[in-house]
Structure 1
C-alpha cells in the first residue's frame, strides 16, 4: 500500500468520541459470556475497526524479565520481548504509551493495567495517530487488561503463556495465593517480587487496603518444596481470616500462632512480619516474628533498620508479641525482605549480607515501587551469579499521604 493510499484509509476511519464509545461498548456487552479463547480475535477485530493491524498481547513472565506473546487467532505471535531493553518493556515499566515509527506506520505499545498492577502490553500498528486515537486506545487497553485478568479465572491459557520454564508444584501453589504484585493509589503504593519464580516454596506475602489501613504480611515457612508450600498456605489463610476479623496486630499474631501450632505442632513454624499503616497519617505498626529488620528509605537513602523486640516465629505457641510503632514522612519507603536475600552465598564464600543489600538499595533509582523491587531483585541475583538455594522475597511500601477523594467525583 502506498503512502497516499494509507492516508486516505486513515481519513475513512471513524475515531470520534461517539465511535469510541460504541467500540468499547461492544467489548463490554460481549464480555460477560465471552469464552476466553475468543478474547484475542475480538480484540484484534476491534483494533482493526480503527485501522490497526499486527495485534499482539504481551504478558509479563513470572521472573519479570520478559514480555511473552499470548497465542490466539488473529494475534501476531513472535519472540518474547525483554522488559529491560525494548519499546514494549518501556511501556510496561513506565505505564505509558510508547510509539515507534516504522516504514509502514507507527507501532503502538500500550500498558495493560489491572487497576495499577502491570499485566502486560497491547501492541499494534497504525498508519498515523493523533490525540483522539491515544485517548481511545488508553481506554481500550484498560478494558482489554480487565478482560484478560477476569477471563484468566476460567482458563489456563494466560498462565501458560507467561511461563518460560517448567514450574514446580510448590510454586504453583504459592503463585495461586498471591495478591496482585503491585498496587498504586494516590496515598500508598506497594510492590513485591519472589525468587526463584519457578521454584518458590515457603516464601509468600499478602496485603489488603481496608479503608485507611494498609495491612501487609511477609512470610517464610520452614522447609522446602511441598511441605513449605502447605505450611505457607495455612499461614496465609490464618492471616487473612484474622485480618478480616479486624483485630489488632498482637491478636492477629496470636491467632496465626495458635492455628499453625494446633495444626502442625511446635516442630513447624513460619517466620513473618505483619504490619499496619494508616495511610491518612503515616502511622506504622509492626510485629517482627523472626525476620530481618525492614529498612526505612528516605530520599534514596537507608536511614535506619526498623528494629523491634524479638518475637518467636509463628507456630511455636504461646508468645505474646510487642507491637512497634513509627511515624513515616511523606515519600518514605519501607523495604521488607526475607533472610534468603541476605544469607545467600557462593560455595565457600561469604554471605551476601545486609550491607551489600543497602548499597544496592541506595544505588537503585527506580521511579516506581514496582520498578525498584524488580531492578533490585535482578541486580542482587546478578551479584549472586544466579545462585538461589533459598527463597527470597522483597516487598516495598511507599507512603504518599494526602487524599484520594478527588477520584470519587466526576466532572463533565
Structure 2
C-alpha cells in the first residue's frame, strides 16, 4: 500500500471518529486519535476571543496573547508553525478563523505537515457543525461575560471572515463584549457578494432588537431574489410599520459582482465607505438617502462604481470616525494611515490591526458602538475546492 493510500485511510479513520464524537468532546476525541495514529503526546485547541485580542485554550490555562508568539503567527499568517517541539496549525473553515491547534510530539517520520493541516481543517468543519448544539466552544472563546445585547448581536452574525478565490471579507464589532446596535451581514453565491452594515440606534437590548429586525428583513428580501433597492425598501417598510418613524437605522448596502468587479451601493444614511487602491485611500462619495424606517414608503436609488482587482473597500461606522475625531484634529488623517498600513494584510488581520491602531491612537478601548468591515476583490477567479 503506497503512502497516499495510507494517508487517505488514516484521514478516513479520523473523520469517522470525529463524526461519532459527542458535540462537546471533539477535541478530546481528536487528541486520542492523534496519539493513536501519529504518536502525538498532547493536542490543545486555542480559540480566538470575541475581541480578536487573545487565543484562549479550550481546556483552561494561560493564553498566548503576545505579538510574535508561535500561535499568533500561525493564526495571522494561516500556515503551520513549528516551535520548541510544538506544531501550530490554523483551525479555519471557509475563511472563518476559529483558532489554532497545538500538537506536541509530532514525529515527522509518521506524519507530514500537509496531513496535519488537513486534520486541523477537518476539526474546523466539525466545530462549525456542532456550535449550535453546545455552548462549550462559545463559552471558552470569551475572556469575560457578554452583555445581553452583545449576545444577541454576535449570534446574528453570519461569521467574522470569509475567503473565496475571488474575494476576501472580514468584520469586527466593538466594544466586542458590550456592543449594542451596530452590526454587519453578508452572503455570497459564487457570482455575487451581498454586504450590509448597520449603524445602530438606541441602547442595549432595544438597539439590538431594532438591528435584528432590520437584518432579518434584509435577509428575507435578499432570499426572495429582490434587487438591492427593493431589499432596502422592504426593510424600510418593516421597520416603519413597527416603529412609525420613532426609530430608524443608518445602513449601507453593497452588492459586488465577482466577475466584473462592479459594486452596486445604497447609502441609507449609512456608515462611511473607504476605498484602498494601492496606497491611496479615497472616501467613496455616495448619495445619502433616508435611513431605513425613518419615513413611510421611501424609494431607494442604487449607485454603481467599479473596483479593480486587488482594491479594497473598508466600511467604517460612526463609532470609529467619532473616536478618531475626539482624539485630536488629525483623527481623519490617522484613520487613513491605519487603512493604508493594513493594505498588505489579510482582511481579518487588517480589521484587527486597524482597530488596534485606533485604540492606541485614542489611548483607550472604544466605548461607543463601532464596526469595521473589509472587502477585497481579487478579480474574477474560479474557485478551488472549498476548505
1:277 pairs with one of 245, 256, 262: 256
1:23 pairs with one of 1, 4, 10: 10
Give the TM-score, by structure 1 length: 0.88
Q: How far apart are 1:381 and its partner, in Å?
A: 1.5
- Give yes or no for the alignment of 1:392 onto 2:378: no
Q: Name the residue aligned to 2:241.
A: 262
- Give yes or no for the alignment of 1:123 onto 2:102: yes
Q: Distance in 2 between matches of 1:187 and 1:346?
A: 35
Q: Distance in 2 between matches of 1:354 and 1:287?
A: 23
Contact residue 38 and residue 106 of structure 2 kept, 8 A: no
Secondary structure in 2 matching 1:395: strand
Secondary structure in 2 matching 1:319: coil
Tell me, which stretches of 5 or more residues in structure 1 are unaligned?
1-13, 72-76
Q: Name the residue aligned to 2:70.
A: 87
Q: Distance in 1 between matches of 2:161 and 2:384?
A: 22
Contact residue 268 and residue 290 of structure 2 kept, 8 A: yes
Contact residue 189 and residue 397 of structure 1 kept, 8 A: yes
Matches within 5 A, 1:109-120: 109-120=88-99
Q: How far apart are 1:388 and its partner, in Å?
A: 2.4
Q: Distance in 2 between matches of 1:149 and 1:36?
A: 10
2:356 pairs with one of 378, 384, 393: 378
Tell me, which stretches of 5 or more residues in structure 2 are unaligned?
none
Matches within 5 A, 1:158-307: 158-302=137-281, 304-307=282-285
Q: Name the residue aligned to 2:345.
A: 367
Q: Distance in 2 between matches of 1:130 and 1:291?
A: 56
- Give yes or no for the alignment of 1:354 onto 2:332: yes
Could you say what the CA RMSD is over the residues aligned between the two structures, in angstroms?
A: 2.1
Could you say which structure has the greater relative contact order, defined with CA pairs below 8 angstroms and 6 or more residues apart?
A: 2
Q: Distance in 1 between matches of 2:110 and 2:186?
A: 37
Q: Name the residue aligned to 1:3.
A: none
Q: How far apart are 1:258 and its partner, in Å?
A: 0.2
Contact residue 15 and residue 132 of structure 1 kept, 8 A: no
Q: How far apart are 1:22 and its partner, in Å?
A: 2.8
Secondary structure in 2 matching 1:286: strand
- Give yes or no for the alignment of 1:99 onto 2:82: yes
Q: Name the residue aligned to 1:54.
A: 42
Q: How far apart are 1:288 and its partner, in Å?
A: 0.7
The change in CA–CA distance for 1:189 and 1:406 in structure 2 (over 3 A counts) is closer
Contact residue 343 and residue 352 of structure 1 kept, 8 A: no
1:68 pairs with one of 29, 50, 56: 56
Matches within 5 A, 1:323-334: 323-334=302-313
Contact residue 166 and residue 383 of structure 2 kept, 8 A: no
Q: Name the residue aligned to 2:25.
A: 38
Secondary structure in 1 matching 2:67: coil
